Amino acid sequence: MAVSGFEGFEKRLELHFSGDDPAGLGLRRLSFESLEEVLQAVQCTVVAAVGNHYFDSYVLSESSLFVYPSKIIIKTCGTTQLLKSVAPLIDHANNLGLTLSGCRYTRGSFIFPMAQPYPHTSFRDEVVFLEESLPASLCFRKATVMNSQKLSSHSWHVFTASDEPRMDPNMAEELYTIEVCMTELDCVLARKFFRRPNDGKSGDAAGKEMTEITGIGDINPNAIICDFAFDPCGYSMNGIDGDQYSTIHVTPEDGYSYASFECVGSVYDGGLLAEMLKKVAQVFRPAKMSVSTTTCAGPEVWSRVKGALEPLGLKCRGCAVDEFPATGTVVFQAFTTRRK
């Protein structure tokens, strides 16, 4: 918990592994006890879970965890020490015969940076910690702070490391990852993420109610949603749709309200990305919204972002673009609007 309020901006870590696994389960063979051990180092716990044929999804006390056969994604908020998960995850994977082949760490600018513990005290400290935690085989590395020219107060921090300079041709290059950060949420809509005092409901039941009354369930109607409402306020959900995930986290308090949306999809989604972004913006009506798009495809995906949001009154105030080894292009766009 930050001194002035809860830190909504998440830290996100994505690790890729390689190795032979006849059963095809890979990292999904990690025991729940092993995952709990990793999360204990990060300082968070599992509050809900759901899985399908492709991957396992966990809602955490501080955001989300996704476990695929060959990759794991952890996203945590507050004052969690996310990067302390790197070493134990590598060890657990090695015990399964898997070797780390790629790492990507991303985050926005913290609302309360002075409240963050080491190694999250600065991006420099985070990069040094990662450099020391990763094996030497991941020799293609890059760290960048991306700023939109007109909104320098908010930046996007990206670190990548890989054992190859280019993406594996066997990987699906048509995929994209969208990471959305929203602040200054509409105060009326944000109130929907507060629980009624003594409502007598479990976090699961209250979460389902919030999913319904806010319209979050309509963002991707095909997704199976695992949701949770915190007491007295706050909300998290993971959605699973085949081999693709989505996730939302909300810190609704006045003065430092924040919401995030993240999803992975295909560039050939027929406009699904644009429709989801429109619905997300309508659920929260933020005054400020940043969108980071990571893809090996062309500019089609991030151009759709601007086309989806500007008709809603969110004007693109700045854009930054950079290339990362074996990761592709990262495009950071910042949008703002004025309340009437």
Q: Of these residues, 179, 249, 257, 260, which one is catalytic?
A: 249
Annotate 106-173 with DSSP letters as a single string.
EE---SSGGGPPTTTT-HHHHHHHHHHHS-TT--EEEEEEEEETTEEEEEEEEEEEESSSS--TTS-T
Q: Is 155 a catalytic residue?
A: no
Q: Are residues 222 and 241 in contact, defined by beta-carbon separation less than 8 angstroms? A: yes
One of 57, 61, 63, 257 is an active-site residue; which one? Answer: 63
- Whether residue 249 lies in the annotated active site: yes
Position 1 scores a pLDDT of: 39
**Catalytic, out of 70, 85, 148, 236:** 236
Residues in the chain, pLDDT under 50: 1-3, 340
Residue 76 host element (H or E): strand 71-76
Here the tokens at position 87 are: 């070493």
For residue 243, the model assigns a pLDDT of 93
* Catalytic residue list contains 4: no
State which residues form the domain around 77. Answer: 11-336
* Sequence-ordered list of residues with C-beta below 8 angstroms from that of 104, at least 6 positions apart, any chain: 13, 14, 158, 159, 160, 294, 324, 327
Active site residue 236: yes
Q: Given 57, 62, 70, 77, which residue is catalytic? A: 77
pTM of this structure:
0.94
For the chain, the domain total comes to 1
Q: Is residue 63 annotated as a catalytic residue, yes or no?
A: yes
Q: Any idea what the CATH number is for the domain that residue 245 is in?
A: 3.60.90.10
Which residues does 242 contact at the CB level (< 8 Å), separation at least 6?
52, 54
Residue-wise pLDDT tens digits, 207-246? 999 999 999 999 999 999 999 999 999 999 999 999 999 9
pLDDT at 340: 38
Tokens of 201: 């409901």
2: in domain:
no
Q: Which of 10, 179, 184, 262 is catalytic?
A: 10
